[in-house]
């Protein structure tokens, strides 16, 4: 965002959301009832299985649309792959994995772009539609709202342990990790739209703390997070104690430090969990008190795991972490 501050912020009466305030996707109104929602994301392999990597990359790319309340329509592959040194079968499997998730989302793969690159990368440029009056943004949190998280934290720590061969592909925790990262966020998006919720953000590279802070700044509200209520992989804390902590988690804590108030009873382990960078993570959803019961019922009907982890308060934008 520091670099983007040097660029002119585009303005247009139909541009409903740009890159300001750490927005999850660009949103442009075409008609009074249709808005285009556009996003892009790609990254290097995080698991050895190319098919699974393709699935994770696509699920992650689609999340920016789902969290905005949009229905994915079209997808373009973004591919970096070396002409030499890797079998073309690996690229085929990556694309097959990605396509399986594009198809599951009901979107159409309509092309893409590839470059010769010694380090493989894969992801999507995706476009969808939403109703201009039903858009969900990270500036939609209101004082009194309750905050729910839809997926457990700790994926970044587990992936670091996996790369260090401390987690084996046949292990239960690996299978759980893959299940979380390949799960589309479409069902929770449907619930948010049904209840006409207005505030949410997806939890990815900046961790829960970083993305919650973006929500606090965009909504101009204080956000309270209760560390003991946040779901996480228990194995992640075990690896933290071993010193297996991604460099990005330190960056995330540093990014938040000036607007972060931490209760002395909150442990360092809990802080690293809250700051842990996620891949294809869940949503942080701001739910009005009067919609709490209905939200929980709708989520249960769809088999979603949701956790009440905090609340929104009137006040200066910052994050307060309580036990």
Residue written as tokens 């285009």? 36
Q: For residue range 45-66, what is the model confidence (pLDDT) as tens digits?
A: 999 999 999 999 999 999 999 9
pTM score, whole prediction: 0.95
Q: Which of 134, 157, 180 is the last residue in one of the domains? A: 134
Integer Cα distance of 59 and 185 in angstroms: 8
Residues 25 and 127 in one domain: yes
- The phi and psi torsions of 48 (rounded to 5 degrees) equal -80, -30
**What CATH number does the domain containing 28 carry?**
3.30.1330.10
Instruction: Say if residue 41 is in the same domain as residue 158.
Output: no
> Do 134 and 213 form a contact (C-beta atoms < 8 A)?
no
Would you state the pLDDT for residue 3?
66
Place 20 in a pLDDT band, splitting at 50, 70 and 90: confident
Average pLDDT over residues 66-79: 98
Give the strand order in the sheet containing 319-322. 199-202, 283-287, 146-149, 307-313, 222-226, 319-322, 260-262
pLDDT tens digits, residue range 108-146? 999 999 999 999 999 999 999 999 999 999 999 999 999
The answer to whether residue 140 is domain-embedded is no
Residue 73 falls inside a structural domain: yes
Please indicate, yes or no, if residue 265 is contained in any of the structural domains.
Answer: yes
- 153-189 pLDDT, tens per residue? 999 999 999 999 999 999 999 999 999 999 999 999 9
pLDDT-based confidence at residue 151 (cuts at 50, 70, 90): very high
Which single residue is written with the structure tokens 């509200």? Answer: 221
Chosen domain end from 134, 169, 198: 134
In a shared domain, residues 260 and 161: yes
Could you tell me if residue 141 is inside a domain?
no
Domain containing residue 113: 4-134
Q: How far apart are CA 293 and CA 37, in angstroms?
A: 29
Quick one: CA dihedral 23, 34, 67, 77, positive or negative?
negative
Residue 239's Cα: distance from chain center in Å? 22
Task: Tell me 153's DSSP state.
Answer: B
CA 167 to chain centre: 23
Tell whether 220 and 315 lie within a shared domain. Answer: yes
CATH number at residue 151: 3.90.650.10
Count: domains in the chain: 2
């Amino acid at each position: 965002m520091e670099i983007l501050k040097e660029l002119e912020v585009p303005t247009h009466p139909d541009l409903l959301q740009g890159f300001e305030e750490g927005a999850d996707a660009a949103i442009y109104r075409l008609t009074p009832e249709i808005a285009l929602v556009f996003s892009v994301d790609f990254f290097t392999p995080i698991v050895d299985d190319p098919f699974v990597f393709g699935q994770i990359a696509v699920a992650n790319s689609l999340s920016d649309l789902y969290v905005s309340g949009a229905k994915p329509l079209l997808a373009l592959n973004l591919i970096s792959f070396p002409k030499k040194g890797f079998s073309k079968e690996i690229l085929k499997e990556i694309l097959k994995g990605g396509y399986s998730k594009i198809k599951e989302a009901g979107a159409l793969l309509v092309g893409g772009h590839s470059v010769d690159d010694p380090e493989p990368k894969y992801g999507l440029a995706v476009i969808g539609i939403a109703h201009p009056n039903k858009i969900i943004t990270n500036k939609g949190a209101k004082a009194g709202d309750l905050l729910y998280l839809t997926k457990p934290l700790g994926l970044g720590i587990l992936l670091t342990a996996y790369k260090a061969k401390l987690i084996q592909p046949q292990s239960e925790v690996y299978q759980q990790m893959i299940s979380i990262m390949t799960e589309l966020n479409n069902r929770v998006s449907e619930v948010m739209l049904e209840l006409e919720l207005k505030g949410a953000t997806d939890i990815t590279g900046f961790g829960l703390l970083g993305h919650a802070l973006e929500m606090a700044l965009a909504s101009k509200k204080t956000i309270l997070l209760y560390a003991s209520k946040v779901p996480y992989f228990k194995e992640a804390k075990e690896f933290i104690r071993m010193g297996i902590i991604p460099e990005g988690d330190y960056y995330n804590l540093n990014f938040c430090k000036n607007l972060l108030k931490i209760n002395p009873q909150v442990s360092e382990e809990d802080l690293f969990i809250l700051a842990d960078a996620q891949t294809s993570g869940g949503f942080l959803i701001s739910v009005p008190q009067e919609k709490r019961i209905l939200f929980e019922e709708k989520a249960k009907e769809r088999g979603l795991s949701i956790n009440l982890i905090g609340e929104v308060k009137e006040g200066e934008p910052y994050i307060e972490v309580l036990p």
